[in-house]
């Protein structure tokens, strides 16, 4: 879930906003109706679920590869 908070409100409620970020929510800081920054949780290096999600996202963006292409790559860089 994403929360939108005005900068002045964020100054007064920073501790509460950080607790929400730690709970998994994103916080957008806005001046008036203009979004200017985003507070989001920094994943821990040992967070397996985050690593899996990142790998799945990267795979979803990747171009599909054929079996023929994989077989051709086996010998790339080898000199005959």
What mean pLDDT comes out for the span 8-22?
Answer: 92
According to the model, what pLDDT value does residue 32 have? 92
According to the model, what pLDDT value does residue 18 have? 94
Rounded to whole angstroms, how far apart are CA atoms 63 and 71? Answer: 17
- The CATH class that applies to domain 2-44 reads alpha beta
**In the predicted structure, residue 15 carries a pLDDT above the cut 70:** yes
Burial class of 13 by CB neighbour count within 10 A (0 to 12, 13 to 18, 19+):
middle
- Please write the tens of the pLDDT for every residue from 16-75: 999 999 988 999 999 999 999 999 988 777 778 888 888 899 989 988 889 998 888 888
According to the model, what pLDDT value does residue 80 have? 60
**In the predicted structure, residue 1 carries a pLDDT above the cut 90:** no
Q: Where are the domains of the chain?
A: 2-44
């Amino acid at each position: 879930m994403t929360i939108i908070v005005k900068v002045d409100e964020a100054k007064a409620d920073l501790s509460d906003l950080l607790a929400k970020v730690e709970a998994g929510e994103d916080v957008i800081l806005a001046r008036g109706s203009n979004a200017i920054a985003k507070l989001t949780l920094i994943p821990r290096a040992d967070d397996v679920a985050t690593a899996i999600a990142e790998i799945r996202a990267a795979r979803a963006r990747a171009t599909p590869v054929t079996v023929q292409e994989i077989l051709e790559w086996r010998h790339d860089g080898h000199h005959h």
